[in-house]
Structure 1
């Protein structure tokens, strides 16, 4: 992040919660919804290693089973979730001349 910039954590959390609420209906049961929220929150964290064991530990889970089940066998449509996230980003962060650049380097 550039020097001199700060993040309004309350606003960030509110926007995160709105985005998660938008996709929550794509998961039929409450458990995968809660696990999805925890998983995404930890993916966006500063945690260096992002495997199910590390993410579950950071989320204070005793074991990685719920996160592994979410990725392996929970019933949800990735295309629908992608479309929901895309629509949310466009509505809340988009501009007519905007460009989204994803930098996977983490810097």
Structure 2
């Protein structure tokens, strides 16, 4: 795929990209000790690049060919793999494929509107996505952009001070003890 492309390729172009996609995925294969999550990961990433209008568990499972989102959810929530190691491998790939003296790092936030109160970090707070104070989570993203393309490298969920100072709420939401307000 052309690193400078701004849109996903047409469906017929996927076959032409198959070898490149397999080589890209092979960089990450060692992150998975078992073959099942490794195979699910390749289907998941492929489905993210597909035509699904929404990318939630049900729509991605349908695109993958799974009857329910259970396998997608298991990959994301309980498969044994290291997100930080994946980020480091992605950084190596990014330098090789997109590195350029004109490249810069970009730090940006986005809001995820929520209806409930149980999702980690959710509270009434300003969201640029909504353009006002809403019940939401805030994600902070680090990306790299150059004349050769744009890649999201890392992510963190912002944890508001009210969440950090509420041990019961943190425990209920499985927030690690070492996560601090910043």
TM-score range, shorter chain: 0.7 to 0.9
**1:102 & 1:89 partners in 2: Cα distance?**
7
What SS is found at the alignment partner of 1:83?
helix
Residue of structure 1 equivalent to 2:61: 56
Moved over 4 A (4+): 6-11
Answer yes or no: is 1:12 the counterpart of 2:54: no
What SS is found at the alignment partner of 1:80?
helix
Indicate the structure (1 or 2) with the bigger Cα radius of gyration. Answer: 2
> Closer, same or farther in 2 for the Cα pair 1:70/1:60, shift >3 Å?
same
Report which structure shows greater RCO (CA 8 Å, sep ≥6).
1
Structure 2 regions of 5+ residues with no counterpart? 104-145, 153-182
CA deviation map 1:50-92 (0-9, x unaligned):
0111111111112211111011111111010011112112213
Residue of structure 2 equivalent to 1:65: 70
**1:79 & 1:32 partners in 2: Cα distance?**
17
Q: TM-score, normalised by structure 1?
A: 0.78
Answer yes or no: is 1:31 the counterpart of 2:36: yes
Q: TM-score, normalised by structure 2?
A: 0.48
Contact 2:62-2:68 within 8 A present in 1 as well: yes
Q: What's the Cα RMSD here? A: 2.4
Flag the structure with higher strand content.
2
How far residue 95 of structure 1 moved from its aligned partner, in angstroms, is 3.0
CA deviation map 1:15-41 (0-9, x unaligned):
221111100100110000011001111
**1:9 & 1:42 partners in 2: Cα distance?**
12
> Closer, same or farther in 2 for the Cα pair 1:15/1:92, shift >3 Å?
farther
Residue of structure 1 equivalent to 2:94: 89
